[in-house]
Amino acid sequence: MSEMLVQTVDLQRRYKRGKVPVPALNGVSMSVQKGEILGIIGPSGSGKTTLLNLIGGLDRPSSGTVTVDGEDLGRMSDAELTEYRLRKVGFIFQFYNLIPTLTAAENVELPMALAKAPLEEQKDRALELLEAVALGAKADRMPDELSGGEQQRVAVARALVNHPAIVLGDEPTGDLDSKSAKKLMEVLKSLRKEEHATFVLVTHDPIVVAECNRVCAIRDGKITRESKIGEDGKVLDHSRFVMDALF
Amino acid sequence: MSSMSLALRNLRHRRMRTALTVSGIVIGVAMILVLLSLAAGTSTQANGFLRNVVGSEITVVNATTPSFPGGFKFNGTETGGFGGGGGGGSFSMIFGGGDPINASLVGRIDNITGVYVASPELSTSGYVDGANVFLYGIVPSTYSEAATGLDITSGGNLTGAGQILLNSVTATNLGVSVGSNVTVGANSTGGSTFKVVGIYSSGSTFGPTSRSGYVELSDAQSISSDYGLVTEIFVKTTTPSLVSAVASDIESVISGVTANVASSITAPASSLSGTLTTFFTVIGLVALLAGGFGVVNTMMMSISERTREIGTLRAIGATKGQVMQMFLGEALLIGVIGAVVGVFIGVVASAAFPLFTGTSASHTFGAAFSGALRPALTASNLGISLALGTAVGIVAGIYPALRASRMDPVEALRHV
Ligand SMILES: Nc1ncnc2c1ncn2[C@@H]1O[C@H](COP(=O)(O)OP(=O)(O)OP(=O)(O)O)[C@@H](O)[C@H]1O
Ligand SMILES: [Mg+2]
């Protein structure tokens, strides 16, 4: 039996648009197992980003609970949530969101610098991760000197640098061609083993879904279905699943 | 990767904009420095002007000497007004004044805080080639600083004992000129030989001092047998505003003397330079304020452009304080660079200033205030300018930095 890392119970998040409340999440109960790559798919506006923000401690639920590693995020202060994001969470964004004035290595070091880790340690760890994402030779490049796929791999290294419990990706291949997307997934798979990392990836991309161990479909703020898993530990008939979830 | 080096990276990343923003501070700081220097220069000139024209600010005499309101000093009757003349020495003679005072008091007055220079004078009566003359014994090295300098029209100043300066009336009457030898003594007969080294302007030819001469103090003392005595001590203060305080200090420290103050001129002149300083400083501060608004504007623009970056920083675990630090760091750097460059340009501009306005000697009233404006660079003004530029950078950065740190990370990340 695998260990539970994240659990949400009847999670709700309502936004106010003018005076009308918009339910972005409408009672989501789900869990993430340690060490898995969980896919979340769903049509635009279904609440995927909202769910990631709640798990990542960027946002607070209107009701319901999110528990990560046994801790209820709803009970944390703003400062504790910041600390939680720094130590326990890694983020990967669709548009990489690297700091344009920092080199690849410095971007990877940044979360360690924010955590005030010793300088030597920062450099060693950043290089180790850049090598793991096959960018050891480009450590001193600026982001605009790297391709989109390379930038996203730097972002993956940055997300992992503080040994987070969970890495959250919001459409990590959304801006990549299929070759770069495949390369990125290769890197994620190997990091899952080497770093014992857990990934939750919001995606529309069959290339991503193909590498997920499990996929949840979300629609109108609710989990509507969960994929079946084959003998290889991967989603069965994933293209079919994606089509069904999205349309 | 400290927040400071991150700040520096960001400034370098947008060189052109940084240069423009910094130049706002540069202009403000340079203006402040030039204007402060001008104000300092003006007050230096005003003080110098007072020293030259006004004569001594304080005249210390024996308490038995009658005192005269309105200032002892201006009765430069020998030259008829502001032009030069020996100062108030004549009074004690004219009015049969008080007793002499001990020459050693000069040293005690010198030790009083705020005293710039103290110079003794012995006013006596003597005979030059048989003619009765008012004789003043002075210490040449300090006399011209403490009292109004003599307006020497030919020859030079006293350089040693056995020399005499005569006013032009006396010289003409006696038929002597620079280089002549004259006999000087206490009586119409006898005395010692003195060499005429200079002739000074007589100013008006009427009045009791129309026949006068200057010799060294020790010569005057031996002529009148007033060894170790003087009749008055002229005092200049370091700053005109100190005059009355120094005068009362002198009277309280040394008993038996009266310190007469020439207040009527010093007060308005020193308040004039104070007004100029204030005026110049206000102009400079307004320029610096404009530079500060430039920083606020640039920072706000930068924050709005970097909204997603700020959201990213917050998402990956930067605290509000760390985000605040990064932007304050940028503002601080803008301030420091602007202040340093501004001071540099201000120094160059101050040095070049006289080239544009022309120079002239400030021996007359007009020249002192309308002619050459010579900025005076002082260490404190350099420090003030540096500090102001830096402070403006930081203060201007506070609001934008606060805005950046308080952004909602989710909103910031949605920003495109
Ligand atoms: N700050 C907000 N204020 C108001 N409504 C919001 C806000 N954020 C999200 N919403 C709404 O909540 C719903 C869910 O949004 P969310 O961003 O989670 O969707 P999503 O599944 O990530 O969509 P997409 O695939 O387009 O990124 C949408 O209807 C959206 O318009
Ligand atoms: Mg989304």
User: Residue B88: its pLDDT value, please?
Assistant: 39
Residue that is written with structure tokens 């909103």 in the block: B411
Number of neighbours of residue A128 by Cβ within 10 angstroms: 15
Residue type, A22: V
Last residue of a domain, one of B200, B231, B261: B261
Is the model's pLDDT at B317 over the cut of 50?
A: yes
- pLDDT tens, B63-103? 877 655 433 333 333 333 333 333 433 443 444 456 889 88
Query: What pLDDT, on a 0 to 100 scale, did the predictor assign at position B209?
Result: 56
Choose which residue among A16, A17, A49 to substitute to test ligand 1 binding: the one with the highest number of ligand atoms within 8 A of its C-beta: A49
The reply to whether residue A87 touches residue B317, judged by beta carbons under 8 angstroms, is: yes
The reply to whether B15 touches chain A by the CB within 8 Å rule is: no
Tell me, what's the pLDDT at B72? 38
Give A-chain residues touching B317 at CB under 8 angstroms.
82-83, 85-87, 89, 111, 114-115, 162
Looking at the fold, whether B312 and B360 belong to one and the same domain comes out as yes
Of B261, B284, B306, the residue at which a domain comes to its end is B261
At B31-61, the pLDDT tens digits run 888 888 877 776 666 655 555 555 667 888 8
User: What DSSP assignment string belongs to B179-238?
Assistant: T-EEEEESSSS--EEEEEEEEE---SS-STTSSEEEEEHHHHHHHHT-TTEESEEEEEES
For chain B, the domain total comes to: 2
Q: What is the model's pLDDT at position B4?
A: 79
**B146 or B306: which leads in pLDDT:** B306
Same-domain status, B296 and B238 = no
CA separation for the pair B404, A81 (Å, rounded): 18
Q: Which of B155-169, B266-280, B342-356, B385-399 has the weakest average pLDDT?
A: B266-280
- pLDDT score, position B279: 77
Confidence of residue B366 (pLDDT cuts 50, 70, 90): very low
Does an H or E element contain A90, and which? strand A89-92
Average pLDDT, stretch B252-280? 71
What's the pLDDT at B263?
53
Distance CA B272, CA B365 (A): 14
Q: Which of A60, A82, A94, A112 to mutate to test the interface with B (most CBs of B within 10 A)?
A: A82
Written as one letter, the residue type at A117 is A
Q: Is residue A158 within 6 Å of ligand 1 at its C-beta?
A: no
Mean pLDDT for all residues in chain B: 80
Q: Looking at the structure, do residues B191 and B60 belong to the same domain, yes or no?
A: yes
Indicate whether B254 and B305 sit together in one domain. Answer: no
Q: Does B9 touch chain A (CB under 8 A)?
A: yes
B143 and B239 belong to one structural domain: yes
What pLDDT is stored for residue B245 in this prediction? 84
Name the DSSP letter for residue B52.
Answer: H
The mean-pLDDT minimum among A126-140, A206-220, B235-249, B315-329 falls in B235-249
Do B161 and B251 lie in one domain? The reply is yes
Q: Are B407 and B72 contacting, i.e. CB atoms less than 8 angstroms apart?
A: no
CA–CA separation, B307 vs B408, rounded Å? 10
Please tell me which residue, A246 or B371, carries the higher pLDDT value. Answer: A246
B356 and B322 inside one domain: yes
B160 C-beta neighbours (distance < 10 Å), count: 10
- State how beta strands B131-138 and A63-68 pair: unpaired
- Of the candidates A197, A180, A179, the residue with the CA atom closest to the CA atom of residue A188: A197
pLDDT for res B355: 65
Whether residue B265 is predicted with pLDDT greater than 60 in this model: the reply is: no
Considering the domain architecture, whether residues B159 and B129 belong to the same structural domain is answered as yes
Q: Which of residues 321-360 of B touch A (CB under 8 A)?
A: 322
> B-chain residues within 8 Å CB-CB of A97?
308-309, 312, 413
Band of pLDDT at residue B190, cut at 50, 70 and 90: confident
Give the dihedral sign, CA B364/B369/B375/B380.
Answer: positive
Are A168 and A56 within 8 A, CB to CB? yes
Mean pLDDT value of segment B249-258 = 88
Per-residue model confidence (pLDDT) at position B57:
76
- State ipTM: 0.93
Domain that holds residue B68: 56-261
Name every chain A residue with its beta carbon within 8 A of the beta carbon of B302: none
Structure-token match 């030989």, residue found: B193
Query: pLDDT-derived band of residue B244, with 50, 70 and 90 as boundaries?
Result: confident
Q: Does one domain contain both B150 and B251?
A: yes
Query: How many Å apart are CA B57 and CA B241, to the nearest integer?
Result: 11
Report the half-sphere exposure of B405 (CA within 13 A, side-chain side).
18
Average pLDDT over residues B340-367: 68
Averaged over successive runs of 10 residues, the pLDDT of chain A (247 residues) comes to 86 89 91 93 93 95 94 94 96 95 95 94 94 94 95 96 95 92 93 91 91 91 79 69 70
Q: What is the pTM of this model?
A: 0.69
Structural domain ending residue among the three candidates B194, B226, B261 = B261
Q: Is the domain of B85 the same as that of B211? A: yes
At residue B113 the predicted structure's pLDDT band, cuts being 50, 70 and 90, is confident
Q: Give the per-residue pLDDT at B184.
A: 93
CB atoms B309 and A97 under 8 Å: yes
Dist CA A6 CA A165 (whole Å): 10
Residues B337 and B314 reside in one and the same domain: yes
Contact B409 A110 (CB under 8 A): no
B184 shares a domain with B129: yes
Mean pLDDT of all residues in B319-325: 94
